[in-house]
Chain A
Amino acid sequence: MAGRDFDAQVVLSPKNSPRGNLLSQYVCARITRMNDVDIGLFDRDWNNTIYFFIMNSDEQIYMRYGGREAKSPDTYLNLSSLELALEKGLELHRRYRRGELKKVERPKPLFPAQIPLLVERTIARNACVECHLIGDYQNIQREQDGKLDKLTHLYRSPDIKTLGIHLDVPKGLVVKEVRDGSEAAGMKSGDLITRLNGTPVWTFGDLQYLYDKVPRNAPRIQITVERGREPVNLSMALPKRWWWTDLTFRQWTVEPRVYFESVALSDSEKREHSLVEQDGFASRVKRVDMFAEMMKSHELRVGDIIFGVDGVEHDELANTAELFIKLRKTAGETVTLDVIRDGKRMQMPLKSYRMSFRK
């Protein structure tokens, strides 16, 4: 299970090891029951099965440790970077006690018992309030209440690799390799990321949490790096759909399940088929999930081009028909697809699904 080894290595740290010596200077707590946890204070992407906070008794959070990417929950969990975080946490605590750190307003408390659906489906049934259920039921509740903002509520762990930032993970926020947007902004290998939009970041957990808080329509972000002990401010353009990540691993997400994957057509391919170019989401099916047939979801085939959904052919956000359905439709809806197969235009229905427990 995700994080199991890391969890054991941290919890069983021998006192006489460097990590144990650091941990001995903390009050350590390990919480496995989420029922009574203040999810307002400890807000995070609830699809992290392991996550850490360094804080003080005034409930001032110094930093977070954890975070994930879509393809793996373990990429950014590393004992060396954890030790760096623990050292930094001690330094920040000394500074706080000396009055050198500004006290920030405590987030408003929110407890699982305040989310009616979570109560109904877990607490009232004496079932465990699993971490991911907190996020899932928050979103289902938002969807029912008409308050779901898919871009911010569903895509909670935006990937810094979409900016071309590849970290030297054992060294925390030291950059190992830069590509694309980060390279264009002047970031260099060896830079230490210290701030995002002016707020200090000490760990990948901090960086990803703040990155997630960036408004989805923001054109740029400011990243400060330390280079040769000097701060350097970099203005980085955000690519389209920088917030998007594959949610497939989130089994209980409210994102509609469509059981196919597609790739956007190039402008020349769109021209070749006389399709909408500007913001057109025409896309070619590259994989059909076996569940499509089992669930009688659709009859798409690999190679089919989907150029319209319910008569709509373009969207300012979605670059594929697959993403258009996920963003603009509700799980369980049936839509009509405009399809080109072997050069012939046709229409076919697609029924999207959600997990049966939510019906």
Chain B
Amino acid sequence: MKTQKQNCILYAILACVVASVVGPLLAQDEEIYWLENYSEAIREAKRTQKPIFIEFRCEP
């Protein structure tokens, strides 16, 4: 009985660890990926044949 309870706690901790690692990765995958380098954007556009949407944002 005691071993079963310990296993449950262990699994719960493991689940939390997995969620904390995988969660953000999944969340990132749900958002648009933004490059931060113009030359890289040009290369990626050549490779994928996609147009480029470029934002210039001044953040003083």
The residue in chain A whose Cβ has the minimal distance to the Cβ of B60 is: A130
Would you list which residues of chain B between 2 and 40 have a CB under 8 Å from chain A? 29-38, 40
Across the interface, A31 reaches (CB within 8 A) one of B36, B43, B46, namely B36
Residues of A within 8 A of B60 (CB): 128, 130
How far, in angstroms, from A12 to B32 measured CA to CA in the complex? 7
A74 to chain B, nearest CB (A): 14
B52 to chain A, nearest CB (A): 5
Q: By the criterion of a CB under 8 Å from any partner CB, how many residues of chain B are at the interface?
A: 30
Q: Decide: A12 and B31 in contact? CB cutoff 8 A.
A: yes
Any B CB within 8 A of the CB of A10: yes
Residues of A within 8 A of B38 (CB): 29, 31, 36-38
For B42-60 the 0/1 string (1 means CB < 8 A from A) is 1111101111111111111
The residue in chain A whose Cβ has the minimal distance to the Cβ of B58 is: A131
Residues of A within 8 A of B42 (CB): 57, 59
How far, in angstroms, from A244 to B4 measured CA to CA in the complex? 79
Across the interface, A86 reaches (CB within 8 A) one of B31, B41, B53, B59, namely B53
How far, in angstroms, from A62 to B57 measured CA to CA in the complex? 19
How far, in angstroms, from A12 to B54 measured CA to CA in the complex? 15
B29 to chain A, nearest CB (A): 8
A24-B32, A29-B38, A30-B36 known; A57 and B46 CB under 8 Å?
Answer: yes
The residue in chain B whose Cβ has the minimal distance to the Cβ of A85 is: B53
Across the interface, A49 reaches (CB within 8 A) one of B36, B41, B53, B57, namely B57
Q: Decide: B44 and A3 in contact? CB cutoff 8 A.
A: no
Q: Decide: B45 and A54 in contact? CB cutoff 8 A.
A: no
Besides A32-B36, A51-B56, 18 other CB < 8 A contacts? A11-B32, A15-B30, A26-B50, A27-B41, A27-B44, A29-B40, A29-B41, A29-B54, A30-B54, A30-B55, A31-B37, A34-B58, A51-B55, A52-B56, A54-B52, A55-B54, A59-B42, A89-B51
Q: List the interface of chain B (C-beta within 8 A of A).
A: 29-38, 40-46, 48-60
Please list 17 pairs of residues, one from A and one from B, whose beta carbons are closer than 8 Å in the complex, sorted by A's number: A7-B55, A23-B32, A26-B51, A27-B51, A29-B53, A29-B54, A29-B55, A31-B36, A31-B54, A32-B36, A32-B59, A36-B38, A37-B56, A54-B53, A56-B51, A57-B42, A62-B51
